[in-house]
Amino acid sequence: MNDDHRDDSVEDNVVEEDSLDDVTEYIGRDESSHSLSLAKQSMPHRMYVLPVSNRPFFPAQVQPVVVNQKPWQETLKRVSETDHHILGLCFLDNPDQEEAVPDTGELEVMGCAVRVHQAQAESGKVQFIAQGIQRFRIVQWLRRRPPFLVEVEYPDEPEEPKEELKAYTLAIISAIKDLLRSNPLYGEEVKQYLSRFGPEDSSPLADFGASMTSAKGHELQDVLNTVPLLRRMEKVLLLMRKEQEVARLQAEINEEVNDKVQKHQREFFLREQLKVIQRELGMAKDDKTADAERFQARMDELDPPEHVKTRFQDELQKLQVLEQGSPEYGVTRNYLDWITQVPWGKMSEDHFDLLEARRVLDRDHDRLEDVKDRIVEFLAEGSFKGEVSGSILLLVGPPGVGKTSIGHSVADALGRKFYRFSVGGMRDEAEIKGHRRTYIGAMPGKFVQALKECGVSNPVIMLDEIDKIGASYQGDPASALLETLDPEQNREFLDHYLDTRLDLSKVLFICTANQLDTIPRPLLDRMDSIRLSGYIAEEKLEIARHHLLPRLLKRAGVKKKQFNITDAAIRQVIEGYAREAGVRNLEKQLHKIIRKAIVKLLETPDNQVRVGVGDLVGYLGQPPFRKEKAMKGEGVVTGLAWTAMGGATLSIEASRIHSSQRGFKLTGQLGDVMKESAEIAHSYISSNLKRYKADTAFFDKSFVHLHVPEGATPKDGPSAGVTMATALLSIARKEAPKQSMAMTGELTLTGQVLPVGGIREKVIAARRQKISTIILPDANRGDFEELPEYLREGLEVHFAKRYSDVYQKVFSDKPPSSNSVH
């Protein structure tokens, strides 16, 4: 939106010298009245308002205003239908919020009422002439969506001493004269002002003086907010003094630039002669020679391949023949600066002490024994062959389980430099492979920048959030990563900016992701996946004691003797406030407790703050997670699910609605795959009712409703097949399943139970809910047996090849009772 538009046409706006004298003389006259002064008008108390950005509008202004047609055409149409054609213009500093200003509170309440003239729409914009009339203040919003309608009031100016008023008026007139001399383009605006007001109209004169300045929007709004005239004129004079100082400095700069232009040729020859003399005497070197020697000295310290040396010498020779004022000189200089900062041939020595690596991993992480074993095996392989190269690790797990910190630990264990950057949301291929030198502001890609910052050619580079990488018309970064993360190709990685082959085979790449589904399959095939599952309560308690609390206390400057929290309280925080798979939210809750404890320490410095279970409500409020009461009864079965946040339990409910007709209804925001699983379960149970000792005609005359609670959460996947089948069989047999039992598995039409993923996360979810019996597909037996002993301990696990195996564990083998009531 542009409400400060001036026509730059020389023909219309440049004021001749004689005309300028007439204008300034007219401003200086002390007339007692002016025939064209705006009379006090009867103003509406309800009006439409329109936000303007860039700068506020003043009552003394007459200016064109341009607004977007889409949101504001209706506003201008309604204004044109009124008798008075009055519209309110209010300043908005943030134009991105112009359609939501009542809710954001960013719109200024003091604005300017204007009369709208000559509104015209063209090319998606609407332009109109705004004639400023009077200040107003918004009292109440009557309509909070465009077109905005408000109730307003018009503040009255208090009486001011006439002598002081006259003095300020003359000072402003004098300032306007000075501005006219420095910038004749203001003359047209002065003529418009004089056609409406006289020099004795102090209030419009102050507003007009403010509108002539190039002050910032909030400074001009301060003037508009100021109703008392003397205070307003003081602020306007201050702005105009600043404007005069800027004009004076601009004149001095113009004069200085003109002098430099006139003397440029003479100075150029003198400067060149001086450089020659200094070089001959050995007193100094020119910038070009100094740059060339510096780049050569850098390259001499490195051990680049032959093709890099050849490219460097070619570019260095080009630099020496180019003129420093040439654009190509800057491009070549920047290229040489980058190519000599890549650590060609520099390597850090790897530490292959496996005991030290295990110590570092144990120091930084509790539990995760399988993950630590996998990393130690990886380091052992590198130790055996003498180098860690050609390796790309992918750490997969829910947020907050320690993926990034494990990357740091691997770098520490190897003694390598560590560099991390996130590729989440990255949409430009040039972020990976660099920009070509032909573009202005071109830079190498992230990998070259990582090598430069680390100073070695074999750092550990972590690519965070690789499952959230994007794609756009600028290219597909995931495809660009295929070359980078391929051990057979990255030894000759080509960065578009350097345009030379770069060996990345010595780099250890570690990627992180929350899930594998969104990672392109060719990219996933190049990575060695290590899965990090969520933590159970006992693991979280150890992590809080050994890592989170010491780090938070150190960060807050609190000594251990000043703060104490019981294990029972930490466990309650885990179960009542931070049940997610990771520990990030647990850290936030502990930090919140420590902040509140610091307040108490400041009040009573000598006392230790003790936090027990009973104190948590005062520190954290009521727990969002309460102890869940297991759902039970006919048709209710607990399933196990996997999400990007970790494992979860899922209760599935089935109910017979009526027996007047056959039907099957699904609710719970289920995805297509889960709907198909439900249809398969319904078909399988319907065709095998006799085998499972239920009424064979039950589904022929029943309308059945299957629901998965928490309907606001989308759900999908095939692993709930056996759970849905069990819920349907429960209502057909009129028998409730056994309690404290959960299950997972994909069901086929022939009754086979197929394997599913996420076994570790699902087992953790079952332990979290105190479920003691689990039914898993027989094909997942190996996945379960690979789990750590502390996760398997205390669980009764049954493995099913067919649904009949599930049936035997869930139901008694007796026929259903004929007098059971559903």
In the set 235, 433, 506, 762, the catalytic residue is: 762
Q: What are phi and psi of 107, to 5 degrees?
A: -75, 130
Token representation of residue 147: 């077109």
Give the integer Cα–Cα distance in Å for 704 and 693.
Answer: 19
Give the integer Cα–Cα distance in Å for 394 and 533.
Answer: 13
Token representation of residue 395: 């750490």
* Pure H helices in 81-182: 101-104, 162-182
* Pure H helices in 349-439: 354-364, 369-385, 403-414, 430-433
Q: How far is CA 290 from CA 268, 276, 280, 293, 571, in A?
A: 20, 14, 15, 5, 65
Give the integer Cα–Cα distance in Å for 425 and 359.
Answer: 35
Phi-psi region of 499 (alpha: psi -120 to 50; beta: other; left: phi over 0): left
Q: What is the dihedral of CA 726, 731, 735, 739, to 10 degrees?
A: 50
Neighbours of 359 (CB within 10 A): 12
One-letter amino acid of 726? T
Give the integer Cα–Cα distance in Å for 429 and 473.
Answer: 10
Q: Residues for the chain: how many in total?
A: 822
Give the integer Cα–Cα distance in Å for 700 and 703.
Answer: 9
Neighbours of 191 (CB within 10 A): 14
* Paired strand residues for 651: 638
The dihedral through the CA atoms of 103, 107, 111, 114 has a sign that is: negative
In the set 719, 730, 772, 804, the catalytic residue is: 719
Give the integer Cα–Cα distance in Å for 337 and 297.
Answer: 12
Give the integer Cα–Cα distance in Å for 209 and 213.
Answer: 7
Please give the full DSSP string across 470-519, using - where no structure is assigned: --BTTB-HHHHHHHHT-TTTGGGEE-TTT-SEE--TT-EEEEEES-STTS
203 as an active site residue: the answer is no
Give the integer Cα–Cα distance in Å for 394 and 109.
Answer: 54
Q: What are phi and psi of 133, to 5 degrees?
A: -120, -55
719 as an active site residue: the answer is yes
Q: Is the peptide bond before 147 cis (omega within 30 degrees of 0)?
A: yes
Q: How far is CA 375 from CA 259, 313, 388, 402, 653, in A?
A: 70, 43, 12, 14, 43
Give the integer Cα–Cα distance in Å for 490 and 511.
Answer: 16
Cβ pair 371, 484 in contact under 8 A: no
Burial class of residue 653, CB neighbours in 10 A (0-12, 13-18, 19+): buried
Give the integer Cα–Cα distance in Å for 495 and 472.
Answer: 20
- For residue 112, what is the DSSP state? E
Give the integer Cα–Cα distance in Å for 62 and 70.
Answer: 24
Residue 32 Cα to chain centre, angstroms: 61
State the SS3 of 532-596.
Answer: CCCCCHHHHHHHHHHHHHHHHHHHHCCCHHHEEECHHHHHHHHHHCCCCCCCHHHHHHHHHHHHH
Write out the H or E segment, with its range, that includes residue 152. Answer: strand 148-153
Catalytic residues: 719, 762
